[in-house]
Structure 1
Amino acid sequence: MKVKGESGVLIGELSRRTGVNTHQLRYYESQGLLKPGRGGNGYREYADGDVMTVIQIRRLLGAGLSTEEIAYLQPCVTGTGPDLEPCPELMDVLRTRLNGLDEHIDLLVRTRRVLSDYIEATERQVARN
């Protein structure tokens, strides 16, 4: 447990404050997204600002960005919402991700159309028999 007067919060408290499992927080750390300090006992100690960082990470993951992309963009992130500073690399990464999503959506629409054609053709065969 954290001793009163120590700086930072332990991983369990950060998990409670953010609703993110401790193993996910450790993963974010391994990806360079969180950089906790270490207490004298060797435990991870997170700053109060890390609550905001975790919220930002979760929102960017929800936008379909990878942890690698998030690490690259992290210096541009300012608030809890889609608040981003206009860093030079920002728009390229976001547009590339959006273009990839558009291509994936187009592929899914084409795939759905082909599958639907198969179903309709099979149903016509069943109706004839």
Structure 2
Amino acid sequence: MRIGQLSELTGTSRRLLRYYEEQDLIASTRAANGYRDYGDEYVDKVLQIRGLLDAGLPTRVIRQILPCLNSPRTISISDATPETIATLEQELNSMSERIRCLVRNRDAITSYLDDVRDATARQAA
């Protein structure tokens, strides 16, 4: 698929897709006319990259762990430095805290909606 299609399917700008390529997170082949061509597997990969970036991971860390995410049973990071491990541990802790916060907020909104719905039902009755 061409870059425009990948952009549309993932909601990622063409500029970002080119940046991901510059960072060696994705790769394309070139058609005879010079257009980038991506395999279908890149839709999921780009969405995964975006999720990891949204979670706060830097591209240098994503580049190292991305191969592991494609085949989780064969995790092998030959160049996992203590710094990389520390970064991943920090990111894991940060993600866990954000998840706890999201769960609290979800539960509060659920409770609020339940109360509003109950009040609306009582008024209607």
When normalised by structure 2's length, the TM-score is 0.62
- Aligned equivalents of 1:25, 1:17: Cα separation in 2: 12
Would you say the 8 A contact 1:61–1:67 is kept in 2? yes
Q: 1:35 to 1:15 in 2, by over 3 A?
A: same
- Equivalence for 1:74: 66
Would you say the 8 A contact 2:53–2:59 is kept in 1? yes
Q: 1:69 to 1:56 in 2, by over 3 A?
A: same
- Equivalence for 2:35: 43
- Aligned equivalents of 1:23, 1:40: Cα separation in 2: 21
Would you say the 8 A contact 1:78–1:85 is kept in 2? no
- Aligned equivalents of 1:17, 1:32: Cα separation in 2: 20
Aligned alpha-carbon RMSD (Å): 2.5
* Pairing 1:97–2:91 present: yes
- Count of matched residue pairs: 89
- Equivalence for 1:16: 8
Unmatched 5+ residue regions in structure 1? 1-8, 103-129
When normalised by structure 1's length, the TM-score is 0.60
Percent identity over the alignment? 42
- Equivalence for 1:65: 57
* Pairing 1:31–2:23 present: yes
Residue 70 of structure 2 aligns to a residue in which SS? coil
Cα drift, residue 98 of structure 1? 4.1
Larger Rg: 1
Would you say the 8 A contact 2:25–2:63 is kept in 1? yes
* AA aligned opposite 1:60: L
Select the residue among 76, 82, 87 that pairs with 2:75.
87
Instruction: Give deviations 1:42-99, integer Å, cap 9, x for gaps.
Output: 11000000101101101111111011110011111138xxxx5572548925214346
